[in-house]
């Protein structure tokens, strides 16, 4: 495909006024009639033709003002329909009829049929697979939709907006009509038809309008939608209370489908979800599943204002809706749960996903300036770094300033397709703060590195902090400018009290935020009576890497005393990482591994501190992952040495803390009925962390076997199974537990996904054979994206030793699978392929094998543009 450039943006020549769609649904031959009313935009060349987008369409009719169009006036190609000789200014109507095949649509873009349910996915460019259309987000129109279908197979006929009416249609068919009064771009169009069960509720909005809420799921699964409904009502209330946003239709619907390329989709009034993010009950869903459901229900609902009412001018502005909406869902979850624990989880995710993306071949700015395949830009940089950029705006302008800026954004741009510049300008206009330098965060890729040093002058009672920022070169961007980086900080005294300086020089410090704006800057704080310990980037106020050689004593001090829980967790991480990297190096050199006593002491003090919430203690015990250690080591990585080194450190902690872990495991056993709330989830997380350490110190599967037998919820059951499978993969007890789990949950696809994932992540050389064997399991369905992600995706992304075996066999297996998946579902294949994005950081033997596997993909015939784009960028 050709490259699209932000600089080439220009509005359409024709304005679309109205859209009337009629669908005659049929599994293999659905007829779509689209009546489109346009007029030429003022000032546009009267000879300019109308160019509509299309993709794999069969056109069977084309009318101009209801009269068949002469062939000389139009040209149809594989991806466009061009119509000439159109009126200079008067409105005109184009009626296009197309035939499409929903059953054959394995890409899951456009209209497809999955398990007997018709559903659509139109973002980003799926609508053009339904009819010829100006399929771009700056074309907003009001839609009427008529759906005609066989009544017995499709009692339910849904589309966006409010229900107009329905009736019988003869020959066993019926129809329904929907009208969406809010102008929207085509990517927010949705249609669902089929036979589904429903869970219903209502919500009374802040202006006392009653909204009907409906969640549609497969028959028999209604009880598992209760938590999603509760999360929806809490989201609606929260958006009213925190952002002043009220829902704007009479009905809000969610449909859960089992074949879906991503998590969910915010179609106006008719969200479509991957059923993984709707269905939950204690027997089948983990605490993480509940938290994900809450977050994604909220995310899609929040899009109603940030994305739908105000949409994006073009796809380069994707972060305008995604970064902002992720920020909103993060804030929602923080308010519903523990703010500190939520923040730790967010930062863990950002570091493990976004930081590697931003330091590798797929690095791109939060607002990219070019793309070949837009589907490949639904990235963690656009979403999660985009959210961090929004969070930094809130930090810089303050809570009130942020509220004023958001209010202005909603007021100024409602009903529009906006840009990142429009968004930033609202905060400038609302607060008077100049965000020119800050805007670099949208344009400049790469994670800034900040090198920090400090000095204390006892005689002068001054404390100085020197900071130097650097952003490494990224693809297409070599020279980088200094950024505006807001760093929350505290100067912590001996007893934990925070020192209050009498004056600051060297740069702007407002409240607890230090504004780093120069390449290199020294801040001097006066009136500091004793050497303080600096706690810097508290709450992870900026998505940066700090290089700060703080002493073990200072880190232990922060771990013990900081009033910011995030900073305490960060100090534990900073104490762990040198131990873990040294352990990997020791293993590589054939030397014994040592674990520093400061780490053990600090960690076990937190573990045993009952005044701290269990979820926080569990986060402290989840030491940096193997990929975190690989990133810290930088290059020439040997995943086996990293794994063995980490295991040795865990074993040392398990030994030192055996009594603590035993007391925790026994003491946290619950006598209460299961509740998915954050407090219960935290207790389970801590107890299961203790179980993992006990399995190490006792070196026996007995504890996990007992936990597996006693578990009354999926969190405990799957954790016990993970301990068994990962620590004792060859034990007969493990085989028995895996078999019991498989037969108990054979009818539940979402639980079977867990069963596949647990086995796909068993470390070591046996992993590849195991994965290949599991592909032969009757439950493995290559057409279901969740199943493919659960087995092949989890193996590639989350099994560093198994996937990176030195002989390269797993890379070659993976390459073949990517090519097979690409034939069916290019978007899925391209996303999985990003698992190889950090191949250059491997030691040379593995790196050579990975390169060869990537080249075999690049050489393959008939690659999709999605996979071609990723493989070429990864290899560049």
Q: Which residues are catalytic?
A: 300
Work out what residue 753 binds among Zn ion, ligand HT7, none; the CB cut-off runs from 5 to 8 Å by kind.
Answer: none
Site string for Zn ion, 219-248 (x = CB under 5 A): ------------------------------
Minimum separation from the CB atom of position 377 to ligand HT7 (A): 9
| Tally of CB atoms within 10 A around 93 | 16
Q: Are strands 370-371 and 417-418 parallel, antiparallel or unpaired?
A: unpaired
Show the beta-strand stretches assigned E in 398-479.
Answer: 417-418, 449-457, 462-470
Residue 710 contacts residue 737 (beta carbons within 8 Å): no
Binding to ligand HT7, residues 807-836 (CB under 6 A): 827
Closest CA to 227 of 721, 714, 618: 714
Burial code (b: 16+ CB inside 10 Å, e: under 16) for 823-857 equals eebbbbbbbbbbbbbbbebbbeebbebbbebbebb
Which residue's entry shows tokens 């344009």?
A: 443
Q: CB within 8 A of 476, min separation 6: which ones?
A: none
869 binds ligand HT7 (CB under 6 A): no
- Is the backbone peptide bond immediately before 497 cis, with ω within 30 degrees of 0? no
Q: Which of 28-36, 120-128, 334-342, 729-737 is the region at the interface with ligand HT7 (rule: CB under 6 A)?
A: 120-128
The residue from 33, 53, 239, 266 that contacts ligand HT7 (CB under 6 A) is 266
Which residue's entry shows tokens 């008077």?
A: 432
Nearer to ligand HT7, 303 or 480 (CB): 303
Work out what residue 378 binds among Zn ion, ligand HT7, none; the CB cut-off runs from 5 to 8 Å by kind.
Answer: ligand HT7
Q: Which of 117-125, 139-147, 446-454, 629-637 is the region at the interface with ligand HT7 (rule: CB under 6 A)?
A: 117-125
Q: Which of 295-303, 392-400, 703-711, 769-777 is the region at the interface with ligand HT7 (rule: CB under 6 A)?
A: 295-303
Work out what residue 124 binds among ligand HT7, Zn ion, none; the CB cut-off runs from 5 to 8 Å by kind.
Answer: ligand HT7
Binding to ligand HT7, residues 366-395 (CB under 6 A): 375, 378
> Total binding residues for ligand HT7 by CB under 6 A?
15
Binding to Zn ion, residues 323-352 (CB under 5 A): 325
Nearer to Zn ion, 389 or 863 (CB): 389
Minimum separation from the CB atom of position 262 to ligand HT7 (A): 3
Measured CA to CA in angstroms, residue 77 lies from 38, 47, 55, 58, 81 at distances of 21, 20, 9, 11, 6
CA angle 676, 682, 687 (to 5 degrees): 110
Backbone angles phi, psi at 491, to 5 degrees: -105, 110
Nearer to ligand HT7, 300 or 626 (CB): 300
Minimum separation from the CB atom of position 415 to ligand HT7 (A): 19
Q: Which of 115-123, 217-225, 317-325, 668-676 is the region at the interface with Zn ion (rule: CB under 5 A)?
A: 317-325
231 binds ligand HT7 (CB under 6 A): no
Pair of tokens at residue 78: 């594989």
300 binds ligand HT7 (CB under 6 A): yes
439 binds ligand HT7 (CB under 6 A): no
Measured CA to CA in angstroms, residue 53 lies from 45, 57, 425 at distances of 20, 10, 33
Binding to ligand HT7, residues 308-327 (CB under 6 A): 322
Site string for ligand HT7, 320-359 (x = CB under 6 A): --x-------------------------------------
Which position's Cβ is nearest ligand HT7? 262
> Total binding residues for Zn ion by CB under 5 A?
2
Minimum separation from the CB atom of position 322 to Zn ion (A): 5
Site string for ligand HT7, 171-190 (x = CB under 6 A): --------------------
* H or E element in which residue 271 lies: strand 270-274
CA atoms of 488 and 509, how far apart (whole Å)? 9
The residue from 22, 95, 105, 121 that contacts ligand HT7 (CB under 6 A) is 121
Work out what residue 674 binds among ligand HT7, Zn ion, none; the CB cut-off runs from 5 to 8 Å by kind.
Answer: none
The residue from 36, 50, 81, 124 that contacts ligand HT7 (CB under 6 A) is 124
The residue from 265, 424, 750, 863 that contacts ligand HT7 (CB under 6 A) is 265
Residue 162 contacts residue 250 (beta carbons within 8 Å): yes
Nearer to ligand HT7, 384 or 817 (CB): 384
In SS3 terms, 173-226 reads as: EEEEEEEEEEEECHHHCCEEEECCEEEEEEEECCCCCEEEEEEEECCCCHHHHH
SS3 327: helix
Burial code (b: 16+ CB inside 10 Å, e: under 16) for 655-682 equals ebbeebbbebbeebeeeeebebebebbb
The residue from 62, 158, 193, 262 that contacts ligand HT7 (CB under 6 A) is 262
| Tally of CB atoms within 10 A around 802 | 24
> Using CB under 5 A as the criterion, which residues of the chain lie in contact with Zn ion when the complex forms?
322, 325
> Using CB under 6 A as the criterion, which residues of the chain lie in contact with ligand HT7 when the complex forms?
121, 123-124, 261-262, 264-266, 299-300, 303, 322, 375, 378, 827
């Amino acid at each position: 495909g050709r490259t699209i450039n932000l600089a080439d943006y220009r509005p359409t020549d024709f304005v679309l006024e109205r859209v009337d769609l009629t669908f005659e649904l049929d599994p293999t031959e659905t007829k779509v009639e689209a009546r489109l009313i346009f007029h030429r935009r003022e000032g546009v060349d009267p000879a300019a033709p109308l160019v509509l987008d299309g993709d794999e369409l069969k056109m069977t009719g084309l009318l101009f003002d209801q009269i068949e169009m002469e062939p000389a006036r139009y040209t149809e190609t594989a991806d466009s329909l061009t119509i000439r000789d159109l009126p200079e200014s008067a409105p005109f109507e184009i009626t296009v009829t197309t035939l499409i095949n929903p059953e054959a649509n394995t890409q899951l873009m456009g209209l497809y049929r999955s398990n007997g349910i018709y559903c659509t996915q139109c973002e980003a460019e799926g609508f053009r697979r339904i009819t010829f259309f100006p399929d771009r987000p700056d074309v907003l129109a009001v839609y009427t939709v008529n759906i005609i279908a066989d009544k017995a197979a499709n009692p339910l006929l849904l589309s966006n907006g409010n229900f107009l009416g329905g009736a019988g249609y003869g020959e066993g068919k019926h129809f329904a009509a929907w009208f969406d009064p809010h102008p929207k771009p085509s990517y927010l169009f949705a249609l669902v038809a089929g036979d589904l069960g429903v869970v219903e509720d209502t919500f009374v909005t802040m202006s006392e309008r009653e909204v009907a809420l409906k969640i549609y799921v497969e028959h028999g699964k209604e009880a598992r939608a209760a938590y999603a409904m509760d999360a929806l009502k809490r989201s609606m209330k929260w958006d009213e209370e925190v952002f002043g946003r009220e829902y704007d239709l009479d009905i809000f619907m969610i449909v859960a489908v089992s074949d879906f390329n991503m998590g969910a989709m915010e179609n106006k009034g008719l969200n479509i979800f991957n059923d993984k993010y709707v269905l939950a009950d204690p027997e089948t869903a983990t605490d993480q599943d509940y938290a994900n459901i809450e977050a994604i229900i909220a995310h899609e609902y929040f899009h109603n204002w940030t994305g739908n009412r105000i949409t994006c001018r073009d796809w380069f502005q994707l972060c305008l809706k995604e970064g902002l909406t992720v920020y909103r869902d993060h804030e929602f979850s923080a308010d519903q749960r523990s703010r500190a624990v939520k923040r730790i989880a967010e930062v863990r995710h950002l570091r493990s996903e976004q930081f590697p993306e931003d330091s590798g071949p797929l690095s791109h700015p939060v607002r990219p300036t070019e793309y070949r395949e837009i589907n490949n830009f639904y990235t963690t940089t656009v979403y999660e770094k985009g959210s961090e950029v929004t969070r930094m705006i809130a930090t810089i302008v303050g809570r009130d300033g942020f509220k004023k800026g958001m209010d202005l954004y909603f007021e100024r741009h409602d009903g529009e397709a906006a840009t990142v510049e429009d968004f930033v300008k609202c905060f400038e206009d609302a607060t008077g703060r100049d965000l020119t330098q800050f805007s670099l965060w949208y344009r400049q890729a790469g994670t800034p590195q900040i090198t920090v040093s400090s000095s204390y002058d006892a005689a002068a009672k001054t404390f100085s902090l020197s900071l130097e920022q650097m952003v490494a070169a990224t693809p297409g961007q070599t020279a980088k400018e200094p950024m505006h980086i807001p760093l929350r900080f505290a100067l912590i005294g001996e007893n934990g009290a925070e020192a209050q300086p009498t004056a600051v020089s060297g740069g702007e410090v407002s409240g607890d935020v230090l504004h780093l704006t120069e390449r290199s800057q020294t801040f001097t704080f006066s009136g500091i009576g004793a050497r303080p310990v600096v706690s810097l980037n508290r709450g992870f106020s900026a998505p940066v890497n700090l290089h700060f050689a703080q002493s073990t004593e200072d880190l232990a001090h922060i771990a013990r005393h900081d009033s910011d829980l995030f900073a305490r967790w960060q100090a534990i991480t900073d104490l762990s990482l040198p131990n873990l990297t040294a352990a990997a190096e020791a293993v590589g050199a054939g030397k014994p591994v040592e674990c520093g006593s400061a780490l053990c002491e600090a960690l076990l003090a937190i573990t045993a501190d009952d005044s701290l919430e269990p979820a926080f203690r569990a986060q402290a015990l989840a030491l940096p992952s193997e990929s975190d250690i690989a990133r810290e080591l930088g290059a020439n990585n040997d995943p086996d040495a990293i794994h063995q080194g980490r295991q040795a450190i865990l074993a040392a902690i398990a030994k030192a803390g055996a009594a603590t872990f035993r007391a925790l495991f026994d003491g946290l056993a619950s006598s209460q009925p299961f509740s998915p709330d954050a407090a219960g989830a935290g207790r389970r997380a801590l107890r299961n962390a203790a179980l993992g350490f006990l399995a190490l110190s006792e070196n026996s599967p007995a504890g996990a076997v007992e936990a597996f037998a006693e578990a009354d919820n999926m969190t405990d059951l799957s954790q016990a199974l993970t301990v068994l499978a990962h620590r004792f993969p060859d034990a007969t007890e493990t085989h028995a537990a895996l078999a019991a789990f498989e037969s108990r949950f054979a009818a539940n696809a979402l639980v079977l996904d867990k069963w596949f994932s647990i086995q796909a992540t068993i470390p070591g050389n046996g992993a590849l054979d195991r994965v290949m064997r599991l592909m032969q399991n009757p439950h493995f369905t290559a057409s279901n994206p969740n199943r493919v992600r659960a087995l092949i995706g989890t193996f590639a992304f989350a099994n560093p030793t198994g996937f990176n075996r030195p002989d390269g066999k797993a890379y070659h297996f993976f390459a073949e699978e990517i090519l097979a998946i690409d034939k069916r579902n290019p978007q899925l294949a391209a996303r999985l392929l990003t698992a190889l994005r950090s191949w250059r950081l491997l030691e040379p033997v593995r790196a050579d094998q990975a390169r060869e596997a990537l080249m075999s993909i690049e050489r393959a015939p008939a690659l999709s543009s999605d996979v071609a784009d990723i493989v070429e960028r990864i290899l560049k």
